[in-house]
Structure 1
């Protein structure tokens, strides 16, 4: 069997592929032990690096660097600047040529939130809502409109301790894209983790592996003892059984 490009395997391991491409990779890995071993190695390395860098990444920003980025502190005139200062107290040091632009983008997001409120939050989903039904019924790689101008796409499914979890994307015409993880421990789906979707860096539809931020979905799956994503046959059986 023809091996996949290592760049694609890295993007898959980091959760950066579009739903359709991720589903194709899952099917390929089921028949290619060599590439599956590569993905296992990438995930193990990512977990090791995350543990090694956990302490330094959560150190407060030194005052000199914070002043260089945001200027001297000003007297608060509203609750929003005070909120910004509280967030800065625990902000990680950003390294590299794009640090200033990234920091300014974060500040803009804090000070100027979008008019639309987030459509998804952590917690239980309504049992018979369009989103719950999509999680019940769709296979990896399939998509469905669950709200006006909002498309849900299933990325992968995982067998975990006590149930199942499903990773999915949400695309809205005006809101930022999200990637989320929903699990069904108590017979209904609840959102266990959320993170922003990465912006594709090329026409291939995925961003190369690079570890540009926290990965709450991966961290949660680790705590639940999840392994690799379910292969299509395993997922089809879980679909037929109603994820029980």
Structure 2
């Protein structure tokens, strides 16, 4: 039975851990789906893992649609979420709606993921939700901002930075996000965010106190050259 946004949001109240893995092709998606994974993320990490780029920035909307179509064909039960790639949604809400709408219409995915919790992005999330497109948020280390952040560094390590991440997460929930990825932040901060929000948190490099965990499947299997 296909998981829904409501199922995923309900897992938090039930105390059920949410399992998220990435896929960029039909076979991997089929294997993950049959294994009972809750959410299959077509992440822009495919830029690095599948296409060989050094960052996620070069991947295009066409790339994401192409791979998401293949993934969706392999899935019967998991919720499929697709990353909006760099500069396909940051200009304004109109651009974001066009990009996200294309993903939902052409791929059959159920939701999109965006990075950041700054005011303009909060408005974009609200407008996406208002037109019927479910949105997963993402705060902490946001790879599409890798140059601005000075590399893939842990975020939220000072009291001020931690408070800002908590504020962004709260604002994303208020904007209508159904879940939020917390990436590469201290475990106590991730726990504080998780306890504060009523929507699920999905951690990656954020400790074990989140409502769920996400990993890049190639990393989980030790297929990456970084292992």
TM-score interval for Structure 1 and Structure 2 normalised by the shorter chain: under 0.3
Q: Greater relative contact order (Cα 8 A, min sep 6): structure 1 or 2?
A: 1
TM-score normalized by the length of structure 2: 0.26
Larger radius of gyration: 1
TM-score (norm 1): 0.25
